[in-house]
């Protein structure tokens, strides 16, 4: 196994009026290719801030973040956007789908930014929708899909560019318990296929799917345990 993520002494501060809020206080972390990791922690622990840094949605105040042998901690916004599109597939609690666009075109969207041709985009999006169990829903718009189906579209969109990491932020937060079980089974399959999966959750039963659980508190890693 080789390191996909290497973080050293990452700190993130936010100015608040005349004060400074210290959210991350010196995080060291290695994640290998093919790992399945869950971040847990109470509100204000820093887990969402760390997730944003891992997803290149934000940059650290100080420290180093090496992703796939590239130092992303000091990249420009344009460089970070390119890394996000090629290296990271995002799955959000609120699905974030385009409402007037079919499942197929929602899934294909990241490939537009990657410069793929229309035929390439549709071929790959069809493959991915079959993989996530939506072969018969490709032409449906989000309002014609259930919550679970919408999240499957979102997972398909995350997979379409064959990213290094699938980053899921509370992926079952808006789903009922039966649908949550189905979506987590899908994440288990994605991991079994060789993908690196990182999820943020406050639910123990969701975190139990991961093979490693990292708990944050007050901006530091409180514990880092292998689950299996």
pLDDT tens-digit profile of 143-154?
A: 999 999 999 999
**Do the Cβ atoms of 89 and 167 come closer than 8 Å?**
yes
Element (H, E) at 14: strand 3-16
pLDDT digits (tens, 9 = 90+) for 41-77: 998 899 999 999 999 999 999 999 999 999 998 899 9
H helix intervals, the chain: 47-54, 77-87, 103-113, 118-131, 147-159, 177-192, 204-207
Band (pLDDT 50/70/90 cuts) for residue 226 is very high
Return the CATH number at 100: 3.40.50.300
| Residue 19 lies inside a defined structural domain of this protein | no
Number of domains in the chain: 1
Does residue 109 form part of some domain? yes
User: What predicted TM-score, i.e. pTM, was given to this entire model?
Assistant: 0.92
Cβ proximity of 87 and 155 under 8 Å: no
Does any domain span residue 7? Answer: no
Domain interval for residue 96? 34-58+74-226
Q: Is 4 helix (H, G, I), strand (E, B) or coil?
A: strand
Among 72, 7, 3, which Cα is nearest to 221's? 7
Check residue 114 and give its pLDDT.
Answer: 82
């Amino acid at each position: 196994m080789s390191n996909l993520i290497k973080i050293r002494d990452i700190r993130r501060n936010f100015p608040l009026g005349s004060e400074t809020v210290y959210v991350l206080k010196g995080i060291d972390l290695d994640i290998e290719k093919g790992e399945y990791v869950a971040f847990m922690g109470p509100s204000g622990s820093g887990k969402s801030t760390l997730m944003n840094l891992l997803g290149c949605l934000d940059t650290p105040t100080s420290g180093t973040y090496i992703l796939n042998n590239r130092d992303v901690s000091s990249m420009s916004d344009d460089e970070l956007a390119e890394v996000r599109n090629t290296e990271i597939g995002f799955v959000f609690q609120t699905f974030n789908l385009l409402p007037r666009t079919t499942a197929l075109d929602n899934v294909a969207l990241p490939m537009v930014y990657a410069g793929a041709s229309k035929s390439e985009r549709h071929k790959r999006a069809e493959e991915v929708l079959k993989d996530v169990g939506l072969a018969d829903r490709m032409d449906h718009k989000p309002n014609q899909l259930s919550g679970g189906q919408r999240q499957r579209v979102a997972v398909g969109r995350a997979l379409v560019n064959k990213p290094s990491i699938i980053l899921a932020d509370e992926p079952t937060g808006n789903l009922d318990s039966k649908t949550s079980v189905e979506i987590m089974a899908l994440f288990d399959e994605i991991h079994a296929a060789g993908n690196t999966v990182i999820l943020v959750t406050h639910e123990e039963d969701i975190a139990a799917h991961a093979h490693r659980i990292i708990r944050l508190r007050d901006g530091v890693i409180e514990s880092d345990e292998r689950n299996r």
